[in-house]
Amino acid sequence: MARSLIIPEGYKSTLSLRETQHAIKYIKDVFQQTLSFALTLDRVTAPLIVTTESGINDDLNGVERKVDFTIKEIDGTAEVVQSLAKWKRMALYRYGYSAGEGIYTDMNAIRRDDDVDNVHSIFVDQWDWEKVIKRENRNIDFLKDTVKCIVKAITYTNRKVEMRYPQLKVQINEDVFFIDSQDLEDMYPALTAKERENKICKEHGTVFIMKIGGALKSGEKHDGRAPDYDDWNLNGDLLIWHEALDCALEVSSMGIRVDEKSLKEQLKICNTEERLNFKYHSMIADGTLPLTIGGGIGQSRLCMLMLGKAHIGEVQVSVWPEEMAEKCRANGIMIL
């Protein structure tokens, strides 16, 4: 079942289809170079498929079905990745990266159980990044500093885009407002999590909501997180106000990753302690894998934000319910 489709009144794309394709490439070229410099990241290649037995695929909220299949010459099952949260940490270990160094990659994934709407697609394209850190960096201040670097890369790219396409007038606030998910619930206890996000983001423009994954005082979670990659006390979501849709747009989910202590604690909370039998999890538990920070930055979401697009299908090619595609066409939203 698709989420509700938003048709902004009087919407018309500022750029033509051809201009849009040129602008998408420009945004991706500028941003990834800027991000790489800001966070000291090397570009690496990444997998589209992994084996089920590796335990390295992202479980997201733990209930989503992966796209899996058998392979003629290999025993077991292969899966299309849902994200590369675990793979990146293993890669840093295998490639011999040290503290202060990291990697980024183009991550393409399929999330077959995602509802689709203006900002959600079953096809996910991100810049996934990961960086080795020291144990003394596992704190909120280091997380905030990293978020600020990412936002500066976003606003720099947006300025470059506006110089090339002066008809675009997208404003992105570089001053990030930080707030814990519990403090946000305390501010707006009668609102849902998404309503709270819209409320705070409309006021501040750019917001980073911290500590996502654990239960709040209400008993509800602000949002779901798998227990085995982010430390729920040292993570968050980056939201930027999107004028075209009049809502908060999540452009990044990121955080300092679990260490041996937080991994065991979060697996116990989720009753998934059997995952410690996987190689990836055991290498965290015994201290083999490096301590890291990382996340994903939505490529299509960043493009739709900077280009003032009303639907993610205007900047990526995917599969949509025919009713949604027809309604978009009828209202001037040109799906690629």
Annotated catalytic residue, options 13, 32, 36, 58? 58
d(CA 193, CA 26): 34
Q: Is 186 a catalytic residue?
A: no
Other residues' Cβ atoms within 10 Å of the Cβ of residue 131 = 25
Choose the catalytic residue: 89, 111, 196, 257.
111
Closest among 199, 151, 200 to 173, alpha carbons compared: 151
Going from the C-alpha of 234 to that of each of 9, 138, 327, the distances in angstroms are 39, 8, 41
Active-site residue among 197, 237, 259, 314? 237
Q: Is 250 a catalytic residue?
A: yes
Report phi then psi at 240, rounded to 5. Answer: -130, 135
Edge to edge, the sheet with strand 102-110 lists 41-43, 102-110, 123-132, 292-298, 247-257, 230-242, 206-210, 177-180
Beta bridge partners of 250: 239
Q: Which residues contact 11 (CB under 8 A, 6 or more apart)?
A: 244, 310, 331, 332, 333
Among this protein's residues, is 164 annotated catalytic? Answer: no
**Which one of 228, 250, 259, 314 is the catalytic residue?**
250
Per-residue DSSP letter, 218:
T
- Selected catalytic residue, list 13, 32, 36, 126: 126
The yes-or-no answer on residue 126 being catalytic is yes
The catalytic position among 83, 181, 252, 253 is 253
Q: Pick the closest to residue 185 from 146, 147, 215 (CA basis).
A: 215
Could you tell me if 26 and 164 are in contact, meaning their C-beta atoms sit under 8 angstroms apart? yes
Which residues participate in catalysis according to the annotation? 58, 111, 126, 237, 250, 253
